[in-house]
Amino acid sequence: MKKIDEKALIDIVGERNIKTDPSDLYVYGSDSSVHHAMPWAIVRPENTEQVQKIMTYANENLIPVITRGGGSGMCGQTVPIQGGIILDMKGMNKILEINLEDVYCRVQPGVVDDDLNLALKPYGVFYPPTPASSRIATIGGEIGNNASGVRSVKYGATRDAVLGMKVVLPNGDLASLGAHTRVEASGYQLHKLMVGSEGTLGVVVEATLSFVPIPEFRCMGVSNFNSLKDAGEAIGAIMASGATPSMLELVDSVAIKAVNKTMDLGLKEVAAALIFEADGMVKEAVDYEIEKMKKVCLQHRGEDIYSSYDPKERAKIFLGRKKLFPALSKYDDNLASTSLADDMAVPYSKMAEMAGKIHEIAKANDIVMTAYGHCGSGCMHTKILMDTKRKDQWASAKKAITQVYDYVRSVNGTTSAEHGIGLSKAESFKEEKSDSLVVLSAIKKALDPNNILNPGKLMQAPEDWVTATNLRYSVNS
Ligand SMILES: Cc1cc2nc3c(=O)[nH]c(=O)nc-3n(C[C@H](O)[C@H](O)[C@H](O)COP(=O)(O)OP(=O)(O)OC[C@H]3O[C@@H](n4cnc5c(N)ncnc54)[C@H](O)[C@@H]3O)c2cc1C
């Protein structure tokens, strides 16, 4: 292990902002992915100047720096595979400005998504890209991953909401990117490049974000389906009908069964269900959208269709979907839910086929997989439920992932819709971007010539990191 000069770091951030205890290092060695590796130190800066000094020190001493927000990334983005400093940005968590006149806010990167929306609520506005992990996800991490969420089908992903930012570059320089305006046509859109760069190009120390009015009316509906294919086809048909859902989510039979096992919701154990929502300032317009979606569901043999404006009813409809992630771990006492091949997007016309493929591939490989997600955005999630102690199950998972990804690419989909690349998706990323890898590597080299920011990620990830090695699970040999 390379030595870091703890004293130099203490001089920058103070003793209370550094951790080198092995138990702390262990915890910060993983995120919500299957991967783990030990960092050398955890450093929590409190301001931009400290970030600049840390980067200057790290750059001069060729020490890897892995910027971390909530650590909820699902693909190993913050796992320090070459060791180094974990730069814990949660100490920079101030909302700097809420500007109602110019319709933007400025925040530090460690602000948690839910906290931002709580602060915006009294002004009648909200920040829409919100992922399902909004209780822990930070704005910096959402920028790093280009996160999106249930309402992205109408309001867009993080990249759409970021107007500008301040970034500390690997050499410690501070750069202001983007603008405070809605439009900006001055050269390379570097702030957009930072979104989705997974902490490999710079450290975001401030972000300027747009927000939108909270709609007066929200109506949520649900439709059951006895066939996954019908539900999948209804998704495409809703989107092609000209409807503008503010949410369109799919849950399959595995997901419904898992939710029923953990919560007393009494969901009907059908093949699939669609949850849909419309919102707006005019009730008649919302009614119109909801009726349109209900009609499409009916045309695709949807059953038990109903909708409600009542906030309590809406919360009830959505509760199962909201708690799905922890529920999946209870599907079977012997199976753990792993974030592998967890997030893809395919064209709408392929949603039904994709959902079917997931089940088919799972069965052929003796594992359980579920199909769910923000399907209105073309996004399809899955989790692999398996006995993580069994080596053969990891081999089966790897086979299943390869088959799922091959299918996704064959229909012009992408193997990462919103969870990013990190380590888990790196092999597939390299295949998907094979003809632009040279450009991506050149950008990385131009901004980070010493390769200190999150090294070994995205196109740099070694093949053997993708699955089944350096896991945070203990696997029997
Ligand atoms: C239960 C659960 C549900 C989820 N649901 C969703 C969902 O609906 N949609 C979705 O998109 N994702 C989802 N995720 C994945 C994840 O929560 C999001 O991608 C989230 O945005 C990550 O935020 P974070 O603060 O935890 O980032 P981290 O995991 O800490 O970091 C993510 C990436 O951003 C980089 N980064 C962090 N801060 C900075 C910074 N200041 N400057 C530069 N780079 C930085 C990191 O280096 C890393 O590469 C979910 C995860 C869980 C566990």
Amino acid letter, 115: D
| pLDDT(470) > 80 | no
- Chain mean pLDDT for the chain: 93
Q: How much of the chain, in percent, has pLDDT values that exceed 90?
A: 81
pLDDT at 376: 93
pLDDT at 465: 60
CA 71 to centroid of ligand 1, rounded, Å: 6
- Residue 256: closest CA among 328, 340, 315: 328
Query: What distance in Å separates the CA atoms of residue 124 and residue 155, rounded to the nearest whole number?
Result: 16
Work out the pLDDT band at 182, boundaries 50, 70, 90: confident
Query: What distance in Å separates the CA atoms of residue 277 and residue 255, rounded to the nearest whole number?
Result: 20
Work out the pLDDT band at 300, boundaries 50, 70, 90: very high
The set of protein residues with a Cβ atom below 6 angstroms from ligand 1 is 31-32, 66-74, 77-78, 89, 109, 131-133, 136-138, 140-142, 144-145, 147-149, 198-199, 203-204, 325, 418-419, 454
Work out the pLDDT band at 469, boundaries 50, 70, 90: low
Work out the pLDDT band at 160, boundaries 50, 70, 90: very high
By most ligand atoms within 8 Å of CB, the mutation choice from 92, 113, 133, 136 for ligand 1 is 133
Helix, strand or coil for residue 412? coil
Amino acid letter, 127: Y
The closest-lying atom of ligand 1 relative to the alpha carbon of residue 420 is: 19
Query: What distance in Å separates the CA atoms of residue 423 and residue 429, rounded to the nearest whole number?
Result: 10
Range with the largest mean pLDDT of 282-291, 379-388, 390-399 = 282-291
CA 339 to centroid of ligand 1, rounded, Å: 13
| Residue range 200-230, pLDDT digits in tens | 999 999 999 999 999 999 999 999 999 999 9
The closest-lying atom of ligand 1 relative to the alpha carbon of residue 109 is: 41
pLDDT at 326: 85
Query: What distance in Å separates the CA atoms of residue 310 and residue 293, rounded to the nearest whole number?
Result: 18
The residue whose CA has the least distance to atom 31 of ligand 1 is 141
| pLDDT(341) > 70 | yes
Is pLDDT larger for residue 34 or for residue 471? 34
CA 77 to centroid of ligand 1, rounded, Å: 8
The closest-lying atom of ligand 1 relative to the alpha carbon of residue 326 is: 1
Is pLDDT larger for residue 25 or for residue 472? 25
CA 461 to centroid of ligand 1, rounded, Å: 18
Q: Which domains does the chain have, with CATH numbers?
A: 91-213 (3.30.465.10), 217-419 (3.40.462.10)
**Where do the H-state alpha helices sit in 61-156?**
113-120, 139-145, 152-155
Identify the weakest region by mean pLDDT among 134-138, 197-201, 351-355, 470-474: 470-474
Work out the pLDDT band at 186, boundaries 50, 70, 90: confident
The closest-lying atom of ligand 1 relative to the alpha carbon of residue 112 is: 25
The residue whose CA has the least distance to atom 50 of ligand 1 is 133
**Where do the H-state alpha helices sit in 241-281?**
253-262
Work out the pLDDT band at 232, boundaries 50, 70, 90: very high
pLDDT at 467: 55
| pLDDT(1) > 80 | no
Whole-prediction pTM value?
0.95
pLDDT at 173: 98
| pLDDT(130) > 90 | yes
| Residue range 348-377, pLDDT digits in tens | 999 999 999 999 999 999 899 999 999 999
pLDDT at 339: 86
The residue whose CA has the least distance to atom 11 of ligand 1 is 147
> Quick one: tokens of 31?
């995120």
Give the phi and the psi of residue 166 in degrees, each rounded to 5. Answer: -110, 135
Give the phi and the psi of residue 275 in degrees, each rounded to 5. Answer: -110, 130
Spatial neighbors of 22 by CB under 8 A, at least 6 apart, are none
| pLDDT(461) > 90 | no
* Alpha-carbon torsion, ordered 229, 241, 214, 136, to 10 deg: 30
Work out the pLDDT band at 468, boundaries 50, 70, 90: low
Report the 3 state secondary structure along 210-235. ECEECCCEEEEEEEEECCHHHHHHHH
Mean pLDDT for the stretch of residues 95-118: 98
Q: Which helix (H) or strand (E) holds 25?
A: helix 22-27
